[in-house]
Chains A and B, each alone.
Chain A
Amino acid sequence: MRWLPRTYLALVYLLLYVPIIVLVVFSFNDSRTGYSWGGLSLRWYESLFNNHAMVQAMWNSLWLALTAATVSTLIGALTALALHRYRFRGKKVLNGMLFVVMMSPEIVLAISLLGLFLLLGLKLGYVSLLLAHVTFCLPFVVITVMARLAGFDERLPEAARDLGASDFTMTRTVLIPVIMPALMAGWMLGFTLSMDDVVVSTFVSGPSYEILPLRIYSMVRVGLKPEVNALGTLLLVFSLVMLMFSHWILSRSKQ
C-alpha cells in the first residue's frame, strides 16, 4: 500500500506540470499553427524581441514590480513591527483590515480602487498601478514578517533599550537583521504577485503605462500566438533564476 500515496502525488504533480512543459516545448516549435510540431526554431523569441510594444510592456512591468515590491516590503515590515511591538488603540481593526485585503476577491479591490482614483482625479497610469499593487502585496509581507517576529526572543530589544539605544537605533541594529530573511521572502512574494496580476491592473491602468499581463491578455484573446509560449518560457526562467538567487542569499545569511 505504500506505493499508492506516492503514485498519487506523482500523478498530481504531473498534471500540474504538463501545461508548463507543453508551453516550454512549443516555444521552440517552428510551426505557425501552434498545435503540430514543425521542427526546432527560435523564431518566436526573435519575433518577441522585435515587438516594440511588447518589450516596452516588459520593462514597464519589471519596473512596476520592482517598485511595488520594495514599497510594500518597506511599509509591510513597519506594519509588522508596529503590530508586534506596540500597543495601540485599534490594533485589531488594523489586523482585520489587512486580513480583509488578503481575503477579498481581487475584483472587489479593483473596482474600489478604480472608484477612488476617479474620485481623486488621479490619472490612471504608473502611480495608480503602484498604489494598487502595493496595497494587495502589503498583507502578504506583513504576514511573512510577523511569522518571523513570532519566533523571536523578546529580551533582545529590551536589552538594547536598557543599554540606552533609542527605538529607531534598536530597530535598525537588532530587529532589521533578524527579520532580513522574511523581508527577502516578502519582497519576492510581492514581486511575483505584481508581475502576475491581471484583475486589478485591468481596472487601474491607462494606455500611458501598459504592462505585460495586459499585453499578454490582449494577445491571448485574439487567438493562438506562439510568441506567448516564448514569453511564458522566459518569465518562468526569469523567476526560477530569481528564486535560486534569493535561496542562495538566504542560505549565505544563515551561515
Chain B
Amino acid sequence: MKKIALAGMLALGLTGCSSDDPQVLNLYNWSEYMPQEVLTRFQEETGIQVVYTTYDSNEAMYARLKLLDESAAYDLAVPSTYYVSKMRNEGLLMPIDKSKISGLDQVDPELTGLDIDPDNQYSVPYLWGTTGIGVDIADIEGEPVTAWEDLWGERFKGRVNLTNDMREVFHVGLRVLGYSGNSTDPQQIEEAYEKLTELMPSVRTFNSDAPRMPFLEGETDVGMIWNGEAVMGKESMESLEYVYPEEGVIAWLDSFVIPKNAKNPEAAHKFISFVLQPEIAALISEDIGYATPVLAARELLGDEVSGDRASYPAAEDMVNAEFQADIGDEALQIYARYWEKLKSGL
C-alpha cells in the first residue's frame, strides 16, 4: 500500500522536475526599476537569461526572501538603505567578491562606506533617489505646494496619492510634526498616526507599484512620489512637477545584494559589473529618472538629464533631507499596527 502511494508521489515529483538551467539569473527588483533594454543587452552579451520578478515594498521583498531562504530562489535583490543593514545583521546576505566586480572604483565615494554597510562587503549601490511631492500643476489652483504640510489642505480632498510604503508614509507624518522620520518612540509614532488620520479623507490611493500612474490617470493631483517616477511621468504629462518639500525629502539608496543561498552568485556578480558600466548606468538613469552613483556615467548624461533637479538635486534641495535608517523589529511592529488601521480607511 505504502509503495503505491510512494510511487504516485514520485511520479508526480518527476514530471515536475525540469532540469535547472544554470544560465539563469533570478533578479528580484522593485517594479518599473530596470529598463527592459538592459536585461536584453545583458543576455545578448553573456547568454544569461534574467528572470525578472518584482515587489512593491521592502517588507514584501524581505518576507519573501526569508520565506524562500532555503530554496535559493533569488540571485540578486535590491533592498533600500536600511534593509541592507537589517539583512546583513541577520546573516541573510552573501559577501560580495569585489575581485569579480569591475567599476567599483567609479562609484560615488559619498554613497559607499555608509553606516548601513561600512566596507560595502555585502552591497553595491544601484541607484539613489528621493521621495518628494508630485504636483499636477494643471489641476490645482491657488498657492503652490511647497511642504508636506500642504497635503493636509482642504483643497486636496480626495486628490492625494501616498506611496504604499509604511515607513515612507510615517516618515512624512513624523516630519510634519518636527520629529525624525526614523523615530522609534511609540509616543511620536502615535502622534504621527493621529496626524495621518486627518490626512486620510484626502487620500485617494496608496501606490508603490508606479506612483506616477494615479497622476497620469487623473485620479490624483498631488502626493508622494519618487523622483524617478516624476521624471518618467513628465514625459507623458508635461504638468507633473516634482517638489522638494520644506520639511525635507526622504532619501534612499537602493543597493544590489546577493542572498546567502543564491544559486548563481557568479551571474549576480556579472550582472552588477554590467550595470556599473558607465554606458549602461547612464542608460538606466536616463530611462527611469533616478540618479546613478556611477560618476563616469554622469558625464555621459545629456544636459537635460543631469541638469534635471528632480533626478539630480541641487544642494539646497537636500536641506532637511533624511536617509531612512533601520529602526528594529519592535518599532516596526508598532508602525505595522497603526499602518493597517490607517489603510483600512477608518
Residues on A close to B: CB < 8 A? Answer: 32-33, 53, 67, 71, 114, 118, 121, 123-127, 130-131, 206-208, 210, 218, 221-224
- Complex CA gap A224/B20 in Å reads 34
List B contacts of A126 (CB < 8 A): 16, 18
Q: Give the contacts of B25-80 with A (CB-CB under 8 A).
A: 26, 28, 31-32, 51-54, 56, 67-68, 70-71, 73-74
Contacting residue for B28 out of A207, A222, A224, CB 8 A: A207
Whether the pair A210, B51 counts as a contact (CB closer than 8 A) is yes
Task: With CB as the reference atom, state the residue of chain A lying closest to B24.
Answer: A208
Question: Residue B168 at the A interface, CB < 8 A?
Answer: no
**Given A218-B54, A221-B56, CB of A208 within 8 Å of CB of B209:** no
**Is A221 a contact partner of B209 (Cβ separation < 8 A)?**
yes
Contact: B210 with A223, CB < 8 Å?
A: yes
Contacts of A67 in B (CB 8 A): 15-16
Q: Are A124 and B51 in contact (CB under 8 A)?
A: no
The 6 closest A-B pairs by CB, nearest first: A223-B213, A123-B71, A127-B16, A126-B16, A221-B209, A222-B210
Contacts of A130 in B (CB 8 A): 12, 16
B217 at interface by CB-CB < 8 Å: yes
A218 to B52, CA, bound (A): 12
**Contacting residues, chain B, for A224 (C-beta < 8 A):** 213, 217
Residues of A within 8 Å of B67, CB to CB, are: 114, 118, 124
Instruction: Please report the C-alpha to C-alpha distance between residue A32 and residue B216 in the assembled complex, in whole angstroms.
Output: 12
B46 to chain A, nearest CB (A): 16
Interface centre among A208, A218, A221, A223, by most chain B C-beta atoms within 10 angstroms, is A208
By the criterion CB–CB under 8 Å, are A207 and B56 in contact? no
Expressed in whole angstroms, the minimum distance between the Cβ of A52 and any Cβ of chain B is 8
Determine the chain A residues whose CB is within 8 A of the CB of B31 once the complex forms.
Answer: 218, 221-222
Q: How far is the CB of A70 from chain B (nearest CB, A)?
A: 10
Binary CB contact string for chain B from 299 to 337 against chain A (1 if under 8 A, 0 otherwise): 000000000000000000000000000000000000000
Cβ of B345 < 8 Å from any Cβ of A? no
Query: Which residue of B18, B51, B217 contacts A223 across the interface (Cβ within 8 Å)?
Result: B217
A3 to chain B, nearest CB (A): 40
**Complex-state Cα separation, A221 to B56, whole angstroms:** 10
In Å, the complex CA distance between A114 and B216 comes to 37
For B73, what are the chain A residues with a Cβ–Cβ distance below 8 Å? 123-124, 206-208
Asked if A127 contacts B13 (CB within 8 A), the reply is yes
Query: Looking across the interface, which residue of chain B has its beta carbon closest to that of A122?
Result: B71
B71 touches A124 (CB 8 A): yes
Q: Which residue of A lies closest to B31 (CB)?
A: A222
Across-interface contacts of B56 in A (CB, < 8 A):
221
Asked whether, in the complex, the Cβ of A223 is within 8 Å of the Cβ of B12, the reply is: no
User: Which of A53, A114, A118, A207 contacts B26 (CB under 8 A)?
Assistant: A207
Tell whether, in the assembled complex, residue B213 and residue A124 are in contact, meaning their CB atoms are under 8 Å apart: no
A15 to B71, CA, bound (A): 46
Q: B7 to chain A: closest CB distance in Å? A: 14
Cβ contacts under 8 Å, B26 to chain A: 207-208
Contact of A124 among B17, B18, B68 (CB under 8 A): B68
Q: Inside 8 A of B54's CB, which chain A residues have their CB?
A: 218
Whether A207 and B213, one on each chain, are in contact in the complex, defined by CB atoms closer than 8 angstroms, is no
Kindly identify which residue among A71, A123, A124, A210 contacts B53, using a CB–CB cutoff of 8 Å: A210
In the complex, which residues of chain B have a beta carbon less than 8 angstroms from the beta carbon of A114?
67
Taking CB atoms, residues of chain A closer than 8 Å to B20 are 208
Docked CA distance A53–B31 (Å): 14
CB–CB A222/B213 < 8 A: yes
For B12, list chain A residues within 8 Å (CB). Answer: 71, 127, 130-131
15 contacts between A and B (CB under 8 A): A53-B52, A121-B71, A125-B16, A125-B71, A206-B68, A206-B73, A207-B28, A207-B53, A207-B74, A208-B51, A210-B51, A222-B209, A222-B213, A223-B213, A224-B217
Considering the chains assembled together, what is the distance between the CA atoms of A27 and B103 in angstroms? 44
Docked Cα-Cα span, A126 to B71, in Å, equals: 13
Collect the chain A residues with CB atoms within 8 Å of residue B210's CB.
Answer: 222-223
Chain A contacts of B70 at CB under 8 A? 121
The chain A residue with its CB closest to the CB of B72 is A123
Residues of chain B from 272 to 319 with CB closer than 8 A to chain A in the complex = none
Kindly state the separation between the CA atoms of A38 and B71 in the bound complex, as whole angstroms: 47
B303: min CB distance to chain A, Å: 27
Q: How far is the CA of A130 from the CA of B28 in the complex (A)?
A: 23
**Nearest chain B CB to A61 CB, angstrom units:** 14
Across the interface, which residues of A come within 8 angstroms of B28, CB to CB? Answer: 207
B20 to chain A minimum Cβ distance, whole angstroms, is: 7
Given A127-B12, A221-B56; 6 other pairs, CB 8 A cutoff: A124-B68, A125-B71, A127-B16, A206-B68, A210-B53, A218-B209
CB distance from B32 to the nearest CB of A (A): 6
Q: How far, in whole Å, are A114 and B74 apart by their CA atoms in the complex?
A: 18
Chain B nearest Cβ from A112, distance in angstroms: 15
CA distance A29 to B226 in the complex (A): 30
Q: Which residue on B lies nearest to A64, using beta carbons? A: B16
Residues of B within 8 A of A221 (CB): 31, 56, 209
Query: A118 CB to closest chain B CB, in angstroms?
Result: 7
